[in-house]
């Protein structure tokens, strides 16, 4: 049986580094440093710093590139969301015959502004979430690279997060409410809303607060977490509801016919094409009161146009009633006895 010569075994064993040799368990950086300096401690420290620094640099670069790519993707999604679906077609349909093709009505501008604002808010939220997640992962990997046990750090971060969650419940509630409100498109910039304690036109919407201005010019800041219910008076479509009071001796059939004619003429008016979106209706007698008979007429309008339509309807109803001789009951006068009148006069002169 053939055995390799003992010199071959010795030479092969010499190729395997001994545990007592410098840089036995280190990399080529340690070998090169030891060859230059001849100091094992310096060589091992250099290998540790260079190797760990390279790993940290790789982690930082990968994290930065990942964050940049995700932000670019979010920007593209936000850009598509801002443009919406079929914006040109919607604009042409809602312009009406009397509108020029290069001028958008206010409601189209409000809708576009709300869509852009909602898309930007959601994009900002997604970017913040992506940045936080990527930063947390990068920090954890860097700490693990330098040899720090990240287990206790992760556990401590969880405990701190729970403590902050309990301590800032209102703030967390505001952000969650704002997120769902924007995602569900409950209201946006330019809408006229009723938030309970405050009502008016929405000027700005963020994840924490909503800013709106009422008819008196007062600016209200409402925390999203405190909003229990929302009444949006300018979403999709609106309705003008007019209650017209006439005297008891008027012919109700004639009154209904006059109101129907006035509403129909307004609907066919070129200046209101696209503002009134359905044939107006006279619902009939709404109530009987000591002041007179209330007849209700309704017009379905575009968002934010119900008030302008109502004002024009009142002007035309007044003119038509004067022409037709239809009387609106005068306010009741309070009967005062002569004794009371004399006492009031005496008190005024004295």
Could you tell me the domains of the chain?
52-167 (no CATH), 187-232 (2.30.30.60), 238-324 (3.30.70.100)
Kindly report the number of other CB atoms within 10 A of residue 156's CB atom: 10
Strand arrangement, sheet containing 209-213: 219-223, 209-213, 199-205, 192-194, 231-232
Share of the chain above pLDDT 70, in %: 67
pLDDT band at 10 (very low <50, low <70, confident <90, very high): very low
Instruction: Give tens-digit pLDDT for 28-84.
Output: 556 666 566 666 665 655 655 555 567 778 888 998 999 999 999 988 888 877 765
Q: In the predicted model, is pLDDT for residue 254 greater than 80? A: yes
Specify the higher pLDDT residue, 43 or 290.
290
CA 287 to chain centre: 41
Could you tell me the two tokens for 11?
């030479």
CA 313 to chain centre: 35
How confident is the model at residue 93, as a pLDDT? Answer: 37
Number of helical (H) and strand (E) elements in the chain, helices listed first: 10, 8
Q: In the predicted model, is pLDDT for residue 295 greater than 90? A: yes
- Smallest CA-to-CA distance from 280 within 293, 269, 294, 292 is with 269
Model confidence pTM above 0.95: no
Q: In the predicted model, is pLDDT for residue 7 greater than 90? A: no
Which residues lie closer than 8 Å to 55 by C-beta, 6 or more apart? 145
How confident is the model at residue 95, as a pLDDT? Answer: 38
Distance CA 21, CA 18 (A): 5
Mean pLDDT, the chain, rounded, equals 76
Please state the rounded mean pLDDT for residues 131-149.
82
Could you tell me the two tokens for 310?
């109502």
pLDDT band at 323 (very low <50, low <70, confident <90, very high): very high
- Smallest CA-to-CA distance from 188 within 239, 235, 142 is with 235
How confident is the model at residue 182, as a pLDDT? Answer: 77
**Location of structure tokens 């809602």:** 94
pLDDT band at 127 (very low <50, low <70, confident <90, very high): confident
Q: In the predicted model, is pLDDT for residue 150 greater than 70? A: yes
Distance CA 238, CA 278 (A): 11
pLDDT band at 160 (very low <50, low <70, confident <90, very high): confident
Q: In the predicted model, is pLDDT for residue 294 greater than 90? A: yes
How confident is the model at residue 246, as a pLDDT? Answer: 93
How many residues are present in the chain?
A: 350
Please state the rounded mean pLDDT for residues 2-10.
42
How confident is the model at residue 26, as a pLDDT? Answer: 56
Instruction: Give tens-digit pLDDT for 173-231.
Output: 888 888 788 777 788 778 889 998 888 998 888 878 899 999 888 999 999 888 888 88
Strands 281-289 and 238-246: unpaired
Share of the chain above pLDDT 90, in %: 21
How confident is the model at residue 51, as a pLDDT? Answer: 57
Distance CA 6, CA 23 (A): 27
Which residues lie closer than 8 Å to 260 by C-beta, 6 or more apart? 280, 282, 297
Specify the higher pLDDT residue, 111 or 314.
314
Please state the rounded mean pLDDT for residues 323-345.
69
């Amino acid at each position: 049986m053939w055995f390799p010569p003992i010199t071959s075994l010795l030479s092969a064993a010499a190729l395997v580094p001994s545990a007592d040799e410098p840089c036995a368990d280190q990399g080529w950086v340690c070998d090169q440093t030891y060859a230059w300096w001849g100091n094992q401690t310096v060589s091992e420290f250099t290998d540790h710093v260079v190797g760990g620094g390279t790993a940290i640099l790789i982690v930082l670069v990968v994290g930065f590139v990942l964050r940049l790519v995700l932000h670019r993707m979010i920007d593209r999604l936000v850009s598509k969301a801002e443009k919406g679906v079929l914006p040109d077609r919607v604009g042409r349909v809602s312009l009406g015959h009397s509108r020029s093709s290069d001028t958008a009505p206010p409601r189209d501008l409000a809708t576009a502004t709300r869509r852009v604002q909602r898309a930007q808010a959601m994009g900002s939220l997604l970017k913040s979430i992506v940045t936080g997640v990527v930063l947390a992962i990068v920090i954890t990997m860097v700490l693990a690279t330098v040899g720090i046990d990240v287990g206790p750090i992760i556990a401590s971060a969880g405990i701190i997060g729970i403590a902050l969650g309990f301590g800032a419940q209102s703030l967390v509630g505001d952000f969650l409410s704002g997120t769902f409100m924007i995602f569900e498109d409950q209201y946006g910039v330019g809408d006229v809303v009723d938030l309970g304690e405050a009502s008016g036109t929405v000027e700005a919407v963020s994840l924490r607060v909503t800013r709106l201005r009422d008819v008196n010019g007062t600016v209200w800041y409402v925390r999203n977490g405190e909003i229990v219910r929302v009444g949006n008076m300018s979403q999709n479509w609106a309705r003008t509801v007019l209650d017209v009071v006439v005297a008891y001796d008027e012919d109700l059939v004639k009154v209904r016919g006059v109101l129907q004619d006035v509403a129909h003429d307004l609907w066919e008016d070129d200046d209101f094409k696209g503002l009134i979106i359905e044939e107006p209706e006279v619902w009939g007698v709404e109530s009987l009161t000591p002041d007179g008979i209330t007849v209700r007429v309704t017009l379905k309008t575009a968002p934010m146009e119900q008030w302008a339509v109502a004002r024009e309807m009142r002007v035309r109803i007044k003119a038509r009633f004067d022409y037709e001789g239809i009387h609106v009951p005068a306010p009741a006068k309070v009967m005062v006895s002569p004794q009371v009148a004399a006492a009031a006069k005496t008190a005024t002169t004295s």
